[in-house]
Chains A and B, each alone.
Chain A
């Protein structure tokens, strides 16, 4: 294993008394793609949001343990959250372009971090849009509103915007789940290219996507770390029964629950609580094949 880039030690996260993550300890390797898999509400997004401390904005949240990024404990009282977030890019599930032009979206981060020179900004915007595969499509439309782009383009714009602040780590929270297959493919290809330069952590619902992309896999189930290791080992010879069941498509639970109580789009803590309740009640019932779509 390469030198660890993110070291998580005994991480516990609670939402209003509910435990969302139980004693997670793992190392995320440098310049590899690590996929976090598991059913809805198992804490994947919570884990991801702990790494860039966006979790601070959730209500009633309590975090304990340590997350070391480049050897610094980012959960400590002395952690500088803004410079941490500059170092860690985020691609969220639903692309959220900022209410400004394409150019300003990409230039937003660099400007905030002190880049004033017009030429330098132009160069950064161009580089980032090229890396995200948008330059050819958008070079004549840099002044149009970012909200006018297609969803697939918006997601690549969000990628370009994250890259513009020169992060070392990219966190992707189901980056393709709102996209059509072609746009998803685009994003996946970009991520595979980018792992040469960035440490990438991707949360995904899609086992096949994890198989295609991941070098390392983290399997979470109801807030617990079930299995963690190199992708080929986890996918081909899972040590844990629960992982095998999940990979072999016992993920029906997740699909079923998702379709019933449209989990995503709800606030994270509720998402977790609902899913947990639903899973706990459903798991006791006998699974009928007809329920699977």
Chain B
């Protein structure tokens, strides 16, 4: 009896320690960013593009990177969502079911998920060289799309697989096609999960630096066409932190704060949205 109580106490202790590490790391990230970044954060940072001497610590902002990151991540997430939703719906039992092919698709996605983003970048760069395209918004969006597809597809696949069989059959029994059931019942019931999955992919897309280093390039201007190079927040942080000037380094932390705020606000908005949209779903 005594041994079991000790066991219980030890594991409870371990759990609390783990939770402290998780919560603590989030808190310390926010704290360090705030401490280092907030003093450098000003209105010009988010309303202006870099002026001539920006990287020497003079006037200007990183509007180019903010807009660029939003363009890149939004474009990639929209494209990846369209493709991933189709794949996830196709992986349902009514389409390819538990065939070996379905298993192969899932395995490939898992492998793709594990590939480091710099490899995606190198791959995209090689293709772009071959096709004679230079670093551009389009190139960045395509590589980020490739990066997001495995995450999004596997997440959507799990969400779609959680849909109760009875629910789908209730729809089929009324004489609906697989497509109608997929979009009118499955997608609707899965909506909260779909939003979470999209958010996950968006977060990965907006936060990734390595894949767009060669494919999207970097520029001080806001792109006006898909074929212009584009700046991004992760690369802005990378370049600013790499300068020898403390003022510019502080701006790197300020940029990180901006990135964090973007991700947090999208996360909060989508959570509110999920609550509203999920009011009809079967629990």
Contacts and interface: CB of A to CB of B under 8 A. Distances in A.
Contacts of A57: 93-94, 165, 168-169, 172
A112 B281 contact: no
Contacts of B97: 59
Interface stretch (B49-57, B60-68, B176-184): B176-184
Contacts of A98: 167, 170-171, 185, 188, 282
Interface in B159-195: 164-177, 180, 184-185, 188-189
Contacts of A88: 173
A113 B280 contact: no
Nearest to A84: B175
Given A59-B98, A101-B280, A82 B177 contact: yes
Contacts of A83: 175
A265 to B, nearest CB: 10
Contacts of B177: 82
A96 interface: yes
Interface string A113-133: 100000000000000000000
A249 interface: no
B4 interface: no
B5 interface: no
Contacts of A87: 175
B94 A165 contact: no
Given A57-B169, A83-B175, A112-B180, A147 B164 contact: no
Nearest to B167: A96
A92 B169 contact: yes
Interface residues of B, number: 28
A109 B184 CA distance: 11
B279 interface: yes
A138 to B, nearest CB: 15
B2 interface: no
A99 B189 contact: yes
A252 B98 CA distance: 36
Contact of A89 (B169, B173, B189, B282): B173
Interface in B268-283: 279-283
Interface in A56-111: 57, 59, 82-90, 92, 94, 96-101, 108-109
For chain A, give the interface size range: 20 to 34
A78 to B, nearest CB: 17
A146 interface: yes
B184 A108 contact: yes
Nearest to A268: B165
Contacts of B281: 99, 147
Contacts of B283: 147
Contacts of B94: 57
Contact of A100 (B164, B172, B176, B280): B280
Contact of B174 (A146, A165, A267): A165
A162 B173 contact: yes
A271 interface: no
Interface in B126-153: none
A165 B169 contact: no
Contact of B172 (A54, A158, A267): A54
Given A57-B94, A59-B97, A96 B174 contact: no
Contacts of A101: 280
Nearest to A60: B98
B170 A99 contact: no
Contacts of B171: 98, 108
A86 B170 contact: no
A52 interface: yes
A206 interface: no
A85 B282 contact: no
Given A57-B169, A99-B189, A147 B174 contact: no
A94 B175 contact: no
Given A57-B93, A59-B98, A112-B175, A96 B280 contact: no
Contacts of A267: 165
Nearest to A56: B94
Contacts of A145: 279-280
21 contacts: A57-B93, A57-B165, A83-B175, A85-B172, A85-B173, A85-B174, A86-B174, A87-B175, A92-B166, A92-B170, A96-B164, A98-B185, A98-B282, A99-B185, A99-B189, A99-B281, A108-B184, A109-B174, A112-B184, A145-B279, A147-B280
Instruction: List the 6 shortest-distance A-B pairs measured between CB atoms, nearest first.
Output: A86-B175, A90-B173, A109-B174, A85-B175, A96-B166, A96-B170
Given A54-B173, A92-B169, A96-B169, 12 more contacts: A82-B175, A82-B176, A89-B174, A90-B173, A96-B164, A98-B170, A99-B189, A99-B281, A147-B280, A147-B283, A161-B174, A267-B165
